Amino acid sequence: MKFTSFFYTLPALLLLGYSIPLVVAQIPDSQLSPDCQMPRPATLNSVNDFLAMGHFQQDCLKDVSAAVSTFTQAIKLNPYAEEPYYHRANAYAAMENYQAAVADYSKVIQKNTGRLGLTSAAYWNRARAYEKLGEKTKAISDLTQLIGNNRGPNADEYVFRANLYKDVGNKQSAIADYKVAEKLLQQYVDGVFDTGYMDDRYQQMLDKTRKELSSMGVAVTIPKVTTGSILRTIATTEVERALNLARFIPSSPNIQYFDTQLEDLYQQLATTQPQVDKSVVKNLISNAAYEKMDSLKTERSQLLAKYTPYHPNIKLIDIQTTELESLIRRNKF
């Protein structure tokens, strides 16, 4: 998680509660980061305006010091709001001023309104800041608070705390956390929590967690066939079948080959544990089809530079795209 000079001074009247908009000077596009996606605030007249300007300075101008100053102005406007403290803490962390970051994250935690949902993020980020400061026991305490707050188990939190327990020499607690993390990560990559966690990051975390357990003398059993691998193979095979339907009729041996494969895969899926919702399968198939359609679109554009739309290769792509669209429709809820 990300720890998430140009200085604006408010007139004294504004600090006393009067609403006097400050017009923001235009900034040349040449000064903006190429990946800037944020609009410039037109005026600075409220806490939200200053927050927006602070994010613009940090993300688009890459001026974190200016962002800290602007978030400070938002705090002066409303010292009781938790959001300005949270964003200033992230900016301090980006500057590697972890002491200041800890102080602001602590403000968010003390306020603990729950209205903006920033408390959990503040605990997580404060734990990271404590780690940077070498205060690992305090970092463990923050993670323990997070894990015990009934939001549901989170593998990242267990892995982080396990690493810290390992660093401070508490082997048994580290093993216990790594074991919980391993179970959760296997569920992530198996699609138990839908497709949101089925990405390479969690597979890499799972592999690393198992290595940590093995290095501590814990026997780790790795399943030969997982639900996640079956799901991914089903999605790939469904897409390949659709592409071949552009060339062959359904009764063709080529299509029957894919049908046999899919029948076997779906039978395997029915017997694996843990079971996943049908929506997971449908989402993976649709996502794979969309991804293939994107590559076909690129290929078609390249061919159009050489041939007319009636060229056999382009016509084949058009038929394949139609088959993929049909596959997506069949997998809608």
Helices (H), the chain: 12-15, 47-59, 64-77, 83-94, 98-111, 119-132, 136-147, 155-167, 171-189, 200-215, 227-245, 253-271, 278-304, 312-330
CATH superfamily of the domain spanning 1-129: Tetratricopeptide repeat domain (1.25.40.10)
The predicted-structure confidence for 185-201, as pLDDT tens digits, reads as follows 999 999 998 898 998 99
User: In whole angstroms, what is the distance from residue 301 CA to residue 77 CA?
Assistant: 54
* Confidence tier at 15 by pLDDT (50, 70, 90): very low
Instruction: Tell me which residue has tokens 């991804």.
Output: 291
Cβ atoms of residues 90 and 4 within 8 Å:
yes
The domain limits of the chain are: 1-129, 153-214, 227-330
Q: Which residues pair with 22 in a beta bridge?
A: 44
- Give this prediction's pTM: 0.81
Q: From the CB of residue 7, how many other CB atoms can be counted at a distance below 10 Å?
A: 12
* Confidence tier at 89 by pLDDT (50, 70, 90): very high
Cβ atoms of residues 205 and 157 within 8 Å:
no
Q: Tell which CATH classification among 1.20.58, 1.10.260, 1.10.3470, 1.10.150 matches the domain 153-214.
A: 1.20.58
- Look at residue 54 and tell me whether its pLDDT is greater than 90: yes
The angle subtended at Cα 64 by Cα 62 and Cα 69, nearest 5°, is 135
Residue 6 three-state SS: coil
* Confidence tier at 150 by pLDDT (50, 70, 90): low
The predicted-structure confidence for 98-114, as pLDDT tens digits, reads as follows 999 999 999 999 998 77
- Which whole number is the average pLDDT over 201-208? 96
User: In whole angstroms, what is the distance from residue 1 CA to residue 86 CA?
Assistant: 14
